[in-house]
Amino acid sequence: MSSITDAVILMAGTGSRLRVDGNAFLKPLVPVGGRPLISYPIDALVRHGVRRIVAVIGFEGSNLAAAIRPLVPDHIELSFVENPQWKKQNGISLLTAESAMDRPFFLTMSDHIFEDEILEKLTREASHDLLHVSVDRKINSIFDLADATKVQTDQANGISAIGKDLGEFNAIDTGLFLCPTTIFSYLKRAAAGGDCGLTDAVRLMGIDRKVRCVDIGEGWWQDVDTPEMLQQAEKILAHRSQIAGVR
């Protein structure tokens, strides 16, 4: 497959779990290591060669869009798709981007930080008709394992089960995907009852053997969903910056 140049970033929710007081705030703009949280996935995608980013907004959408535009390099085509049903699950947010996507694309969340090499691994494994899910098999290194989305992979690196409450699992979903456009038909099936999460579509694609798990190896990532996760991300980013400065 040729290089992946399109990406979708989901950022429609309120980020209520990260809020430490009653004040309204925009989660993608929360400072992490002295930078807005959203700048980490944006910068990683741009460094990897992505030239078009579709951001799905909802809560305080116009204010968020205005704040994000200056964070994106001028040569990147940035567009915003509004999800009026932003109180629903993230599968509904991704569905709102369907008309904007006509080729395989990266998918991530605005509150995930990840190393560039994870994108590289996804691209090397790419097959246009499969959903590629980056997974972490370093179970013991996961911060807040209870909150993580667990994955049970099969011998062919497909998915036999996925969910936060799995009793048996051998990997963790990192929240970074390489998606075929067929994911939208599975999202529609999953949303037949009016709502769905991305995990529901992944589960359906797994049943049809349309999912391939890509092990991130020693790669690092962090979901920033709670104050504790934010603290952990800042701690590791500071450590990595210190190491880089020594080299």
Burial 76-94 (b: 16+ CB within 10 A, else e): eebebbbbeebebbbbbbb
Decide if pLDDT at 156 tops 50. Answer: yes
- Residue-wise pLDDT for 162-186, tens only, equals 999 999 999 999 999 999 999 999 9
Q: Is there a contact between 201 and 183 (Cβ–Cβ < 8 Å)?
A: yes
pLDDT category at 1 given cuts 50, 70, 90 is: very low
For the segment 139-146, the average pLDDT, to the nearest whole number, is 94
Hey, is 94 helix, strand or coil? Answer: helix
Q: Is there a contact between 28 and 110 (Cβ–Cβ < 8 Å)?
A: yes
Rounded distance between C-alpha atoms, residue 225 and residue 212, angstroms: 26
Higher pLDDT residue, 72 or 227?
Answer: 72
Phi first, then psi: give them for residue 113, nearest 5 degrees: -110, 135
- Residue-wise pLDDT for 21-48, tens only, equals 555 578 999 999 999 999 999 999 999 9
